[in-house]
Chain A
Amino acid sequence: MSEEIIRLHYDINAEDFSAAGEASSSVKKTLTRLGINPNVIKRVAIAMYEAEINAVIHADGGYADVSISPTEIVVVITDHGPGIPDLDKAMTAGWSTASQEVRELGFGAGMGLPNMKRYTDDMHVESEINVGTKVTLIIKIT
């Protein structure tokens, strides 16, 4: 891979739940084409997919910015949703504010943020009530 940083931008549309995950799918495809280690790709895909789903179910969508350098992949998911009132609680496996409707779709079980943490090397969450949430996911390539 060249030394150049590849930057990708995606809008995350919340209108159609069945389309959630398209951005993560596209990133997975790009990383595969670049010949990145499959284990790294899987970690990026899972963490980003969870973040993308969160933006859809909690925040009416948002956008994703991905940068791929020779040493790391950084995924930033930004939304303008309600914000997370208690970040410590949100990081606890099993804690969720998701609706019953979302749970019936197989998500909203309070595993999203813990899963993102589990599959990344570094993760930051910035959130402000009624302003939005920005989740930064960092996965090292080496």
Chain B
Amino acid sequence: MKVSKIIEVLDAELLTGEENLDLDILSGCGADLMSDVMAFVKDSVVLCTGLLNPQVVRTAEMMDIRVICFVRGKIPGEAIVDLAKEKGITILTTKNPLFITCGLLYSAGLIGRGVWD
């Protein structure tokens, strides 16, 4: 699923990373625990989280995750957005809670597992 489609499905706002709008995302990961993201995520995912700190961007950077979507209407501060911009990572924000965010993406066809089984 293209990042542009993810924005449409989640009625999300793009905060940085327009260059990735055409990127194909295979799977999603909903988590507030960054160590779990590092333990389980394998493929190209959109990371959906309610955790709001620069380590979310750092985790994404290490994992080669190119898209982060903050849920529950959370708006990241300048430091987070700037770090993401520097790393070429797209930041989205949606008013949907984490469960609904994952459900909307899954229902729209983002059904890859993207984890180490």
Q: Report which A residues bind B (CB closer than 8 A).
A: 17-18, 20-21, 24-25, 28, 38, 42, 45-46, 49-50, 53, 93, 105-112, 114-115, 118
Decide if B54 touches A106 in the complex (CB within 8 Å).
Answer: no
Partner of A105, one of B55, B61, B62: B55
- Give Cα A138–Cα B58 distance, bound, in whole angstroms: 21
- Determine how close the nearest CB of chain B comes to the CB of A11; give it in whole angstroms: 17
- Give Cα A50–Cα B63 distance, bound, in whole angstroms: 12
- Give Cα A53–Cα B40 distance, bound, in whole angstroms: 18
B: contact size bracket:
20 to 34
Interface of B is mostly: helix
Q: Report which B residues bind A (CB closer than 8 A).
A: 32-36, 38-39, 49, 51, 53-56, 58-59, 61-64, 79
Q: Could you write out 9 A-B pairs with CB less than 8 Å apart? A: A17-B53, A38-B64, A49-B62, A50-B38, A105-B53, A106-B34, A106-B59, A109-B36, A111-B36
- Give Cα A20–Cα B34 distance, bound, in whole angstroms: 13
Residue in chain A with minimal CB distance to B56: A106
